[in-house]
Chain A
Amino acid sequence: MIQSPYIRKPASVQRVMFTVLLALTPGIAAYVWQVGAGILVNLAIASATAVAAEALVRRLRGRPIAPAIGDLSALVTAWLVVLCFPPIVPWWVTVVAVTLAIAAVKHLYGGLGQNPFNPAMVAYCAMIVAFPSLMSQWPPAGGLDFATQLDLILGGARNLDAITGATALDALRTGLRGAESVDAILRQPPFGTLGGRGWEWIAAGYLAGGLLLLALRVITWHMPVAFLATLAATAGAFWLANPAQFASPLFHLASGGAMLAAFFIVTDPVSGATTPLGKIIFAAGIGLIAYLIRAFGAFPEGIAFAVLLMNLCVPLIDMKTQPRVFGHRRGKSP
């Protein structure tokens, strides 16, 4: 006999996940518009892989399959993997990455709700370490037609120099290595007004979706605000100190996966901190580490590594930031 309460809010994991998928669509639409429809092919491949991997692992674990597919969480993981990856990455990279995310990162730790690391970010880090060149071939916005994209995704011959440019972050890094000033670099073709040309629109799409999630109270303000503010503040500090060497905060906010991360990746509830203060610390930590990797590290985009590093700190952060309990005085947390 299950006891009270006998009534429940019409909420479900499925609903939460569906809302997240829905909130991703403005960003995806901008992606298709600016970069091309190849991303849709990748999304389809990733979704199919995710469902298959989820079903397979659950069968192996002897658990019922239907509810797990129905909760849509595997699809969210799959979509995030695709959106972090270059849109022309060969199909098998997507398959390997999604399988890794679902089977290893999620299920080896016990399935939904149990994984201490963000599955999409583990997949990203694993792939960029394993296939550094494939993972850094980004087509310039509008530079490739759909047929070419499809051909590349399906494993066509890659004439690298002809088809791919660097991302804005890449170009900035290479440029700085070549001792050019930021201003000079930013006048080059990959750059638009704020970040990478075209990619600004995609970032705006993610921002719109993120605001939807905030409005629907699927996420709280703590993480996006703390993440973006820290990223901007750190970037701003370096930029003010030496504008010739460091890009502006706006550039950093609009580039790479900053917006996607702020609203969809950092905010992953399962692997993130949960207390209000903990969320702020967690997301600020990601913003800081991500900037440092971008500016000084070996990889152009540091968010994925930053997320994994902060995932490690979650139990400690949560433990140390237990909020005050009703009627108790502040600071008497366990």
Chain B
Amino acid sequence: MTKRLHRFKGGVDLDYHKAESAGVPIRSAPLPPRLIVPLRQNARSVAHGIVTAGEHVLKGQRIGEAEGVLGTAVHAPTSGTVIEVTEHPMAHPSGLDTHCVVIEPDGDERWVALEPLDHRSIDRQSALNRLREAGVVGLGGAAFPSHVKLGSGTGVDTVVINGAECEPWITCDDRLMRERADQILAGAAILSDLIGAKRVLVGIEDNKPEAIAAMRAAAAAQAAPIEIVAIPTVYPAGGEKQLIRVLTGIEIPHGRLGTDFGVQCFNVGTAAAVHRAFALGEPLVSRIVTLAGNVERPGNYEVLIGTPVASLLELAEPRADTDRYILGGPMMGFALPDLSVPVIKGTNCVLSASPTLFPRSKPPLPCIRCGECARACPAELQPFELYWFAHSRNFGKAQEYHLFDCIECGCCSYVCPSHIPLVDYYRYAKSEIWARERETRAADGARERFEFRNFRQEREKAEKAAKLAAKAAETKAKLAQTETAPAPAPTEAAPQSEDDAKRALIAAALERAKQQKAAAKPKNTEDLSAATLAEIAEIEARRKALGLSEGDAGDVRPALPTLPGPTTAATPPAPPGGDPEPLAREDRP
């Protein structure tokens, strides 16, 4: 293992607290009284529910059909009865409601008939479809559908398997690697086959020697070219871009996919799920979750998707002085607004927080431009500049300084001697920019619709005029006819009514077309808003949160200004370039 490693700039050393939960083997969490399975699987896709209340389902039975490009199927995590299909808060900072299937387990854990499948016996597209149907998504947190990640790639020669697990406290991947190394490696081999890669690199932070040893032992038994690489422990070495950089030296800029650079990255848990989807035919219905922090019995549990966090927490016995619960790690996780939310596929850890363990941060002082944040930033940004721009709502400038390259890793906030909640400002700025873009898009949509209606009305007018002219000509001709050869009275009425009927038909057809078109147009935007509904609500929630979060902060402006009205031009994004902002330092509050 003499691989030459690369470095990424920045990063921080943390207290990892891994030993507390890493020592105990994975246990199965008991069946909760109710499972709440969200049909929404990520920000952009909601599965189409296909069960109704009262129906009995088997473990692994499909209850939601994959919809859209980013859709994956959803399955019943256990056998039981569907109680209802309803709105329920989901695991998200906003605590926003989403469509969920509520299942009461019957305790039998009876599986549907499972069909193992050898990925080599079918074509690539069918294999990807199997993953989609098995509901396999990234288990590292983002829950991005794996078939999409695989599907985009040709010319990928390296698959990176992410076992870095750099966030403090979290040990679910560590335990998985120690206990199910062969599953991970088998899955990695499948992923590698499906994407046509030549090599597999597994990156594991060197603070997990047991996991490295287990994975190496398993790799030695494998024929596939899989290399287990111990990487230095630096937060955030487990960030996808950082890990790819460390292992291959390739830097993937914001907005580009790994596949463009010949490398794609999957989490160890995802690899294991891929293996199970093929070798056992099992859909993804459970995952490993770390319970740690201010608890009596930290550890890792195999948890059914849909298990409410509250019932899961009982297993770990949170201590009395727990004041909140954090989903994910302390660097990038978020405090749960509601403990009834279910575990989803991206849930890797529930931390119990106490004031002593995670002290409330001190009131922020003004930025002293010490540059600590810039030295810590793994995206090599200038966080304090972004902070100025976000603070002064100069979002154009913030974007120019690469706001969207920020991975929200939290390193800058972590090191700031002035205790400025820097990442909160970036989240705020990003959400504001998204909101504005949506407004512009909505306005564009409205304009298009308006123009189309004008066009249609013109066309209809023209059509009507043409028809009237035709009819006039016809009547004239008939009149001429009757004059030359007198005919019975009704003959005139017949063509008339025939004409009427035709006209009615045409009108109806036009109306249909009109409706279709009218329906087609708004549907686009409806679709869009449905897909981003969660985002919108999340942004609103954050905005509120930010408004409240500021308090009296000495020299820092007391509160971020609230959101401007929908299309107020009061604070337009600054024009790029030619903007005197950075020179006018008095502007800095």
Contacts and interface: CB of A to CB of B under 8 A. Distances in A.
Interface residues of B, number: 76
Given A3-B545, A315-B582, A9 B401 contact: no
A28 to B, nearest CB: 23
Contacts of B256: 327
A71 interface: yes
B179 to A, nearest CB: 28
A316 B413 CA distance: 26
A130 interface: no
A110 B555 contact: yes
A313 B413 CA distance: 28
The SS class assigned to the A binding surface is loop
Contacts of B359: 8
B369 interface: yes
Interface size class of A (residues with CB under 8 A): 35 or more
A250 interface: no
A184 B370 CA distance: 45
Interface stretch (B38-46, B325-333, B494-502, B561-569): B325-333
B221 interface: no
Contacts of A110: 366, 555, 586, 588-589
A112 B555 contact: yes
Interface stretch (A83-91, A149-157, A238-246, A318-326): A318-326
B252 A67 contact: no
A4 B367 contact: no
A59 interface: no
A6 B380 contact: no
A327 B368 contact: no
A325 B381 contact: yes
Interface in A1-50: 1-9, 11-13, 15-16
B199 to A, nearest CB: 22
Nearest to A14: B417
Contacts of A318: 385, 582
A114 interface: yes
Contacts of B9: 326
A331 interface: no
A328 interface: yes
Chain B CB within 10 Å, residue with most, of A68, A73, A326? A326
A119 B528 CA distance: 54
A111 interface: yes
Interface stretch (B157-165, B269-277, B418-426, B453-461): B418-426
Contact of B370 (A1, A16, A327, A328): A16
A26 B173 CA distance: 51
A12 B252 CA distance: 34
A334 interface: yes
A11 B251 contact: no
Given A7-B330, A13-B368, A113-B366, A327 B405 contact: yes
B19 interface: no
Contacts of A15: 417
A270 B402 contact: no
A187 to B, nearest CB: 45
Given A3-B334, A9-B12, A325 B379 contact: yes
Nearest to B401: A334
Interface in A100-146: 109-114, 116
B93 interface: yes
Interface in A55-95: 63-64, 67-68, 71, 73
Contacts of B326: 4, 6
Interface in B283-341: 326, 328, 330-335
A274 interface: yes
A327 B252 contact: yes
Interface in A286-308: none
Given A4-B423, A5-B414, A64 B365 contact: no
The 8 closest A-B pairs by CB, nearest first: A327-B253, A5-B410, A113-B366, A6-B358, A6-B330, A327-B251, A11-B417, A334-B400
Interface of A: 1-9, 11-13, 15-16, 63-64, 67-68, 71, 73, 109-114, 116, 220, 269-270, 272, 274-275, 315-316, 318-319, 322-328, 334
Given A113-B418, A114-B555, 16 more contacts: A3-B421, A3-B423, A5-B413, A6-B331, A9-B415, A13-B418, A15-B417, A68-B554, A73-B368, A110-B589, A116-B585, A318-B385, A323-B382, A326-B380, A328-B405, A334-B401
